[in-house]
Structure 1
Amino acid sequence: MPLFLIERQFADALQLDDASVAAVKQINTDVGVNWLISFLSADRKKTYCLYEAPSADAIREAARLAHLPADVVVEVSRIRPESFA
């Protein structure tokens, strides 16, 4: 399945509770996207998330349903360190 990097910018510092996380996970499941990992900026206003998804449109739909920004959605490929040897 294709990989996508999503940049999300928030107006205020991001605050997540267990209920919010559970709701986003359910939306992702319903839409068919799979969250892999996220990084949070030091000021807590930006996230960079790696997802598996059938398309960029699926990522955007999951974000829309979860009321989350998806400012930049880029399809990426995996590079392993041994590729640079």
Structure 2
Amino acid sequence: MAIFMIERQFADRLDLQPEDARELREINDDEHVRWLYSFLSADRRRTFCLYEADSAEAILRAAERAGVPADVIVEVTHTLTPDGASHDIRESVG
């Protein structure tokens, strides 16, 4: 599976509850995508999420079903560290 970074911009401050996360997992399971983790902006209106999926289209389907934005979806393959080293991201996510 490929790894994707998704940028989401929300109109209101994000307040994800456990039941919301459970519903997202169920939808993601149906679409064969896996939410790995997210970064949340200080104002809680933007997230940067790391996902594992077969395609960007699968992520879009899951987002549409869940009623959440998926403004930018970018496939990522490597991480870069301050020492200039590059690592295959799939080896880190496993």
TM-score (norm 1): 0.92
Superimposed CA distance per residue, residues 12-53 of structure 1 (whole angstroms, 9 cap, x where no aligned partner): 100111111100000001100011110000000000000000
14-23 vs 42-51, which deviates more? Answer: 14-23
Q: Aligned residue for 1:73?
A: 73
Task: Output aligned runs, 1:5-84, within 5 Å.
Answer: 5-79=5-79, 81=81, 84=85
Q: Which runs of 5+ in 2 are unaligned?
A: 87-94
CA distance in 2, matches of 1:80, 1:8: 23
Q: Which amino acid is 2:19 matched to?
A: A
Q: SS where residue 67 of structure 2 aligns?
A: coil
User: What's the C-alpha RMSD, in Å, of the aligned pairs?
Assistant: 1.6
* Larger RCO, structures 1/2 (Cα 8 Å, 6+ apart): 1
> Aligned letter for 2:3?
L
Unaligned runs of 5+ in 1: none
How high is the sequence identity, in percent, across the aligned residues?
A: 52
